[in-house]
């Protein structure tokens, strides 16, 4: 049942996870995707790297590119300090609708602003829309060919401060070669690779953490 994979994930969460308990919602998504049908969530292994970066940065303003079902949105939101905000961008209305309901089940919708639209159209509006200046952390997990153009757009919109951390998923599988080349060769970034595995599979993947130097 459930017309789409995200709908089936949502139904499983609603039927098995504890309302208001973010960790039980995260575990429900992971067990569904590990045992019933694979989905492109960052997953539990790479999710632990994401958690560690969020705890280290203690960000006030976070941007996520590519919400999908809201799995990484939940992992980030549950670790934010009080008063911090997570803005997540999703161009697909159906995915956004599912993510909103999953975030609601986890009780995390108050820290999260989910905007529906293409990142290239939304990024230039963020300063004014949220009366903010710079992001402290950006999690990049949308179409892999958009990683580099959106990073350049963030620079052009003056949304990165010296010390801002970019964390990019899938730099090995499916891969984001142009993005990797840019952040590893630009003098404006200090980049580091975190080897891991593709979500729910024994396939190599990894995340790239790049600090903007201003």
Ligand X SMILES: Cc1ncnc2c1ncn2[C@@H]1O[C@H](/C=C/CNC(=O)c2cc(-c3ccc(F)cc3)cc(O)c2O)C[C@H]1O
Residue 23 bears catalytic tag: no
Contacts of 214 by beta carbon, 8 Å cutoff, 6+ apart: 161, 162, 163, 188
Q: Does 170 bind Mg ion (CB under 5 A)?
A: yes
Residue 204 bears catalytic tag: no
Stretch that binds ligand X, among 75-83, 98-106, 154-162, 168-176 (CB under 6 A): 168-176
Q: Does 196 bind ligand X (CB under 6 A)?
A: no
Rounded CA gap, 19 and 146, in Å?
34
Rounded CA gap, 159 and 138, in Å?
10
| Nearer of residues 55 and 203 to ligand X, judged by Cβ | 203
CB of 156 to ligand X, least distance (A): 16
In this structure, the strands spanning 204-212 and 160-168 are antiparallel
CB of 40 to Mg ion, least distance (A): 5
Task: Look up residue 161 and give its two tokens.
Answer: 């401060």
Residue 199 bears catalytic tag: yes
CB of 151 to Mg ion, least distance (A): 16
What mask of x and - would describe binding to ligand X in positions 18 to 57, judged by CB under 6 A? ----------------------x-----------------
CB of 205 to ligand X, least distance (A): 7
> Measured in Å, how far apart are the chain's first and last C-alpha atoms?
50
Footprint (CB under 6 A) of ligand X, residues 52-111: 66, 68, 89-92, 95
Residue 141 bears catalytic tag: yes
Rounded CA gap, 141 and 150, in Å?
11
CB of 81 to ligand X, least distance (A): 26
Residue 144 bears catalytic tag: yes
| Nearer of residues 58 and 94 to ligand X, judged by Cβ | 94
**DSSP structure string for 85-123:** EEEEEES-HHHHHHHHHHHHHHT-TTTEEEEES-HHHHG
Query: For residue 154, what is the enclosing H or E element?
Result: helix 147-156
Quickly count: other Cβ atoms within 10 Å of residue 203's Cβ: 10
Rounded CA gap, 27 and 116, in Å?
26
Q: Which residues bind Mg ion (CB under 5 A)?
A: 141, 169-170
- Residues with catalytic roles: 141, 144, 169-170, 199
Q: Which residues bind ligand X (CB under 6 A)?
A: 40, 66, 68, 89-92, 95, 118-119, 141-143, 146, 169-170, 173-174, 198-199
């Amino acid at each position: 049942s459930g017309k789409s994979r995200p709908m089936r994930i949502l139904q499983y969460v609603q039927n098995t996870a504890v309302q208001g308990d973010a960790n039980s919602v995260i575990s429900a998504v992971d067990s569904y995707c590990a045992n019933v049908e694979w989905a492109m969530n960052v997953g539990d292994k790479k999710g632990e790297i994401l958690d560690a970066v969020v705890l280290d940065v203690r960000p006030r303003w976070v941007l996520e590119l590519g919400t999908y079902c809201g799995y990484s949105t939940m992992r980030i939101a549950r670790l934010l300090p009080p008063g911090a905000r997570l803005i997540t961008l999703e161009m697909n209305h159906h995915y956004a609708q599912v993510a909103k309901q999953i975030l609601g089940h986890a009780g995390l919708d108050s820290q999260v602003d989910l905007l529906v639209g293409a990142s290239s159209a939304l990024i230039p509006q963020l300063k004014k829309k949220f009366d903010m200046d710079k992001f402290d952390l950006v999690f990049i997990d949308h179409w892999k060919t958009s990683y580099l153009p959106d990073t350049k757009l963030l620079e052009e919109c003056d949304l990165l401060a010296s010390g801002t951390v970019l964390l990019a998923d899938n730099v090995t599988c499916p891969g984001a070669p142009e993005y990797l080349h840019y952040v590893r060769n630009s003098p404006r970034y200090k980049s580091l690779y975190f080897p891991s595995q593709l979500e729910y599979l024994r396939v190599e993947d990894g995340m790239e953490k790049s600090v903007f130097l201003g």
